[in-house]
Amino acid sequence: MQNCWLVLGELFYHYEAGEFEKEITPETHGRELYDQYCEDVNQPIAIETVINKIKAGEYTDKEEFKSDVERIFSNCLSFNKEGSEIYESALSLKFFFRDKCGEFRL
């Protein structure tokens, strides 16, 4: 799991990752957007959740880790309009993550 930590660190400090660090809440995004997000997205997740799961030893293999991180981006891509800033950031981070997984042999 050491390489998962390294890849996650690269992702966490990426300049576009800020919107993906914490889960959407009514306090951070407003009640209406939060309710719509919960209705549309079955399994919300954020980078902070992945960090907590690694710390707690909840991942049994790297595939579970990769699946959770990929879900961060797929949730965003399915919820937001194509071409929006957040959509484009999710695409960019998705490809960045995949490149880093290759670099660190995950």
Q: What is the pLDDT of residues 52-69, one digit of tens each?
A: 999 999 999 999 999 999
Domain count, the chain: 1
Domain region containing 74: 2-103
CB under 8 Å to 19, separation ≥6 — which residues?
86, 89
Tell me the two tokens of residue 49. Answer: 């959740």
- Residue 48 — pLDDT band, cuts 50, 70, 90? very high
- Residue 51 — pLDDT band, cuts 50, 70, 90? very high
Tell me the two tokens of residue 46. Answer: 């954020």
* CATH, residue 30: 1.20.920.10
- pLDDT for res 20: 97
Q: For residue range 70-90, what is the model confidence (pLDDT) as tens digits?
A: 999 999 999 999 999 999 999
Angstrom distance (rounded) from CA 73 to CA 14: 14
pTM of the model: 0.94
Helices 62-79 and 2-12, axial angle in degrees (round to 10): 30
Tokens 């902070």 locate to: 48
